[in-house]
Structure 1
């Protein structure tokens, strides 16, 4: 988490789809990356790109359980690194 930069987090959150993904993940649980479970009208490859961008910016982690890949918001770690940022984004 020490490598996570604020500018990368904000850049990732600037996209409306990624922001909506983060809002959906704010419940604290891990959600499957299966494209048919997400309410976006985008190609599977586009959704994968959004998941990758969120992961690389430090906002999420991917949990692998066999063939299932879940995505989870790193809220506690982000709150420690950037206090109040995620709550402010979610309220906005």
Structure 2
């Protein structure tokens, strides 16, 4: 049997990360309309190493609500998630998003820094 592309549903250990060629501007904007999700993106952009565990974010929501927000960002192609031991790590897909939607993240981050 020859290997094929993974078609099984997402699992917590192997979440699906969309190709940004498949992501629309509307999906990105809908993901970023929520202030909690914008805060997650801003924290990832500000993080020096570029990767943060879910528990390392300064969030004002419950763990289950945070999980929802991370899933929305992942499904919109904004973050990539992977496991490092028992920690789910998050990385901003900045280069990919910048290539697909030039200037969008910089505008968002500039507005967040300005308090908007």
Q: TM (normalized to structure 1)?
A: 0.91
Residue in structure 2 matched with residue 59 of structure 1 by the alignment: 78
Residue in structure 2 matched with residue 85 of structure 1 by the alignment: 104
How far the C-alpha of 1:77 sits from its partner, in A, is: 0.2
CA offset digits 1:57-91 (Å, max 9, x no partner): 11000022232210111000000000110001111
Runs of 4+ residues deviating >2 angstroms: none
Residue in structure 1 matched with residue 30 of structure 2 by the alignment: 11
Looking at secondary structure, tell me which structure has more helix per residue: 1
Which runs of 5 or more residues in structure 2 are unaligned? 1-19, 112-116
Residue in structure 2 matched with residue 31 of structure 1 by the alignment: 52
SS in 2 for 1:58: coil
CA offset digits 1:32-66 (Å, max 9, x no partner): 012xx322221100000000000001100002223
Higher mean alpha-carbon deviation, 57-66 vs 80-89, is at 57-66
Which runs of 5 or more residues in structure 1 are unaligned? none
Distance 1:47 1:71 in 2: 12
SS in 2 for 1:89: helix
Aligned positions, number? 90
Residue in structure 2 matched with residue 40 of structure 1 by the alignment: 59
Q: TM (normalized to structure 2)?
A: 0.73
